[in-house]
Structure 1
Amino acid sequence: MSSRALSFGVMAEAYEQFRPGYPVEVFHRVMAYAAQPVRTALEIGAGTGKATRLFAQQGVTVTATEPDRAMLAELRKHVPANVRTVQALFEDLRPGERYGLVYAAAALHWTKPEGRWSRMAALLEPGGVFASFGGPVQLGDPAVEEAVRVARSPFLASDEIPSPDGTPPEHDMQWPGTELQRSEWFADVQQSVVERRLTMSAREYVGYLSTVSAYLMLPTLEQEQVFGRIMQVLPATVEITADITVHVARRRREQ
């Protein structure tokens, strides 16, 4: 687990305040794929519980795992009583109880690739479902996006996380679907997109950027400088494209 992966705890309250939640359509996509009732779920890298709430509020009994103590403390303020919380890295989870669903919301890329899918399969019931969903929050206006790129360029060439397996963005199947298709443990890999358009104030957008790992890794003074430069080039409100790519796969019964 990289230091970048564990950089969010210092901004747990901002993460909760400024990161968009997940629409119920994501839940419906996963359940439609499962095609049977899902009663128990394990969440990998739950953060402050944005996706935890989505599933728990629909009646699923969720066990939310999160390695960062501050993030988990923030999560516990917001989730319903049917959520169990565990402070743990994905790699430290031990096979025992199996779940109908294991999912990760904008967190799977922080897990180690070695043994990822055999470990995931060990946490699932035979025929159980794995789901991963998330996507970048991007400025909708190309001119504003370019102004922000120029403003941040003395500090960061890019604030994006590249595809973990190098899959180019124009490829039909994106990561982690590409890895799942190669895995002996999973079958029937599907990918879909939930389109989402949001409006944020300039302050809210910079608040969101303050929770992005690329900025969190900068020294405090540079963070202040880059956020100040970005604020100067933003209009009062910004249109956001925040599509959510959903990947689902089924654990092979014969494994």
Structure 2
Amino acid sequence: MDDPVRQRHSSSFGAAAPAYAEHRPDYAAAAVRWALESAPGLRVLDLGAGTGKLTGTLIALGANVIAVEPDPAMLTELRRVLPAARALPGSAEKIPLPDASVDAVLADNALHWFDMAVAGPEIARVLAPGGILAGLWNVMDNRVEWVAGLERVSGSAAIGPRDTATGWRAATAGLHRPGTGLIARFGSPEQAEFPHGQRRTADSLVATLATRAGVLVMPEPERQATLGRIHAFLASRPETTHGEFTLPMLTGVLRVRQP
């Protein structure tokens, strides 16, 4: 994704901030614990925090969290949902924290939006020696037959390679290629997956997919056609047509360490 397209996609979420807060899933607690297990302490920066989906999990696990988010609408929603959280305006490329002030930097469904050539040195600056950088992604488990069908019907704008169990590892591999700012500053990456799930109805799953960047930037006729196609598929499946169901998911984690 070239820079203008990435910028357009990454800046699309603010217009849907309340829907994002309502419909996006939280993160598997086991995945967050794994991300932090070898950090030197529990001072954690939630970078690109959005509406606070990961922030809330970190607080529940006892971390001392600072949330940083560049989009004003997303930041407003985070402060509404988690009024006691410390939440600051800022970005991965310009982090409003002192040097060596956190033990871990976590980014939930956000690391791929960062300009790592700039953000890599900034993240390294705020991390204490031995600190952890981890990206977390909630992905749909398309090893389940009906989820694979949903992926086919939805198209890559709604469910891209990074959004599925069989694709997220390959799709995030480019984040630690030479020249991205990670390899030169952090150790070899580790990846792990943790079972997760989200209780949904057909309507709420459509609403969840409507908060994906690829859908948010669509022309309205295309957007409505895409969401209508998804809704029709869910209405046709016995697993999803009647009331609530569990959407099978995984939380994938990419973890590197500050030397």
Question: Into which bin does the TM-score normalised by the smaller protein fall?
Answer: 0.7 to 0.9
User: 1:1-255 residue pairs with structure 2 within 5 A?
Assistant: 2-34=7-39, 36-38=40-42, 40-79=43-82, 81=84, 83-93=85-95, 96-97=98-99, 98-138=101-141, 141-142=144-145, 145-146=148-149, 149-150=152-153, 152=154, 158-161=157-160, 174-176=173-175, 183-187=183-187, 189-235=189-235, 236=241, 240-252=247-259
Deviation at 1:126, TM superposition (A): 1.2
Task: Give the aligned length.
Answer: 241
The answer to whether the Cα contact below 8 Å between 2:116 and 2:182 also exists between their aligned partners in 1 is no
In 1: Cα distance, 2:150 partner to 2:53 partner: 30
CA deviation string 1:126-156 (max 9, x = no partner): 1111111113235565356436634x5xxx5
Deviation at 1:8, TM superposition (A): 0.7
Deviation at 1:244, TM superposition (A): 1.3
2:223 partner SS: helix
In 2: Cα distance, 1:58 partner to 1:224 partner: 39
**Cα distance, 1:234–1:26 mapped onto 2, change above 3 Å:** same
CA deviation string 1:111-132 (max 9, x = no partner): 1132332221111011111111
User: Which structure is higher in helix share?
Assistant: 2
Q: TM-score, normalised by structure 1?
A: 0.81
CA deviation string 1:175-213 (max 9, x = no partner): 545569961321253221112244421111101111111
Deviation at 1:240, TM superposition (A): 2.7
**Cα distance, 1:207–1:139 mapped onto 2, change above 3 Å:** farther
Deviation at 1:230, TM superposition (A): 1.8
**Comparing 212-221 with 135-144, which one deviates more in the overlay?**
135-144
Deviation at 1:60, TM superposition (A): 1.8
Q: TM-score, normalised by structure 2?
A: 0.80
In 1: Cα distance, 2:143 partner to 2:24 partner: 17
